[in-house]
Amino acid sequence: MRDEFGLAHPDRLFLAGQWVRASTNSELEVIDPAREDLVMRVAQAGPEDVALAVDAAHRAFTSGSWPQMHVGERAGKLRLVAAKLRERQATVARAITREMGAPYKAALAALAGPPALFEYYADLIEALPEMDVRERLNGRAWSALRPVGVVAAIVPWNAPLNLSVLKLAPALAAGCTVVLKSAPSTPIDAMILAECLEAADFPEGVVSVLTGGNDAGEALVSDPRVDKVTFTGSTGVGQRIAEVCAGRIARIGLELGGKSAAILLDDMDVEEAARRLMPNSLMLSGQACSALTRVIVPRHRHDALVEALAAAMEKVVVGDPFDEATEMGPISIERQRDRVLEYVEIGKSEGACLVTGGKRPAHLDRGFFIAPTLFSHVENSMRIAREEIFGPVISVLACDDIDDAVATANDSDYGLYASVFTHDDDAVIRLAAQLRSGNVAKNGVIVDRKLPYGGFKRSGIGREGGIEGLRAFQEQQVIYLS
């Protein structure tokens, strides 16, 4: 089968800095969700490969040079990775489009971020002091930050390279050693990333990239030599990771699900609100935990907003993700497509009104496509309002007043993102103080990876991005001097 991505070793794993054959005879099949054809097959790691990678990472951390290396040298390695990623940006974008169906133009634009993030953490570790003095009663003490140790990084399929780098760059910058496991359905971008890491020539064992399934993930988080697990994905899997790591008091960082709310204030025109909601509710075909899928509107404006949203959604161009005109691609995985369709039926059975969508667009005869879907007259007790669907499904909920809107937004197991649709900055700041959400934005979803990102409640533990993202891979040590 033709390799359209220029991979040097698609049949091998990047283990401890070397390309080696997997212990299993199995391969991962990558299916294009827009065409339903086989893109390629790649090596599949098993538990034995995980054990070898963790062993190498443990040795590299306990007796290797990386944790003690001067920050300038570590920063130089990160900048080399950034340069290699930038050279292959178009190829990675094509890989992500073929793997998970994101529109190519959107994938290409988003992939400016990973090289910049490697450079950001390179700059940050060079700028920060390694120790700072603390005064005490009878002398001085020094506070130092040390790398946490061996890190297991596990990423999902919806934004694979961006989320890999969000974990990998600060962990390496901190002096940790890392075993990164990709999602089974999106291994190609991970293999390109591995080739960029190889070009930077890290010391042996410092970084491994494994393309594997759930058994590899279970082996990785269960290994007693792993000091920290950083995971992005479903709340259910995050709970399992927390349970496993609790047994050995391993550190965890969990960025989990969301059921993000958009609150419409009276000063915002419904047509403008509908227009602004489209890219923020349907991003990655709704496969984003920050997507604004609960829209909370004053009761007297409910019908007008539903009408405006329906009109806007029916204009969204759904189709071939390589077509410049396409605004929304397919659902990434067939089973996820089926799950979204199940929720459409659940919504109808609960008594919500299906306004538009809920099925394959009429002009598409293949691919895991679902038309942008809108439910009106949704109660916050309904499953479609409470459970993360992870698809292009928007629920409109009516509220009596602003206090009711805030209470509805907060009445959720999740607390990742909220957005206030208004022209009043003060109102956003005022409501943010009342919203149980890790991120609050005005009129959309804004994510800056140089700022901390994470959620309240079942949306996760810890923060990624910014200086907080670096600190997540460091332990504090105090040195007393008499």
Q: Which residues are catalytic?
A: 255
Residues 6+ apart with CB under 8 A from 339: 389, 390, 391
**How far is Cα 204 from Cα 15, in angstroms, rounded to an integer?**
9
Measured CA to CA in angstroms, residue 281 lies from 141, 168, 176, 276, 300 at distances of: 50, 28, 36, 9, 22
**How far is Cα 260 from Cα 420, in angstroms, rounded to an integer?**
11
| Helix H or strand E encompassing 309 | helix 302-314
Measured CA to CA in angstroms, residue 227 lies from 35, 221, 350 at distances of: 41, 9, 45
**How far is Cα 190 from Cα 179, in angstroms, rounded to an integer?**
12
Number of Cβ within 10 Å of residue 266's Cβ equals: 10
State both tokens at 189. 């971008």
**How far is Cα 96 from Cα 90, in angstroms, rounded to an integer?**
10
**How far is Cα 248 from Cα 364, in angstroms, rounded to an integer?**
50
- Return the closest-CA partner of residue 60 out of 167, 151, 194: 151
**How far is Cα 269 from Cα 285, in angstroms, rounded to an integer?**
25
Q: How far apart are the first and last CA of the chain?
A: 68
**How far is Cα 341 from Cα 181, in angstroms, rounded to an integer?**
29
Residues 6+ apart with CB under 8 A from 87: none
Measured CA to CA in angstroms, residue 144 lies from 129, 134, 467 at distances of: 9, 10, 15
DSSP 30-68: EE-TTT--EEEEEE-B-HHHHHHHHHHHHHHHHHSSGGG
Residues 6+ apart with CB under 8 A from 247: none
**How far is Cα 136 from Cα 465, in angstroms, rounded to an integer?**
32
Mapping DSSP to helix (H, G, I), strand (E, B) and coil, where does residue 297 land? strand
Could you tell me whether strands 373-376 and 393-399 are parallel, antiparallel, or unpaired per DSSP bridges? Answer: parallel
The radius of gyration of the chain from alpha carbons, rounded to an integer in Å, stands at: 23
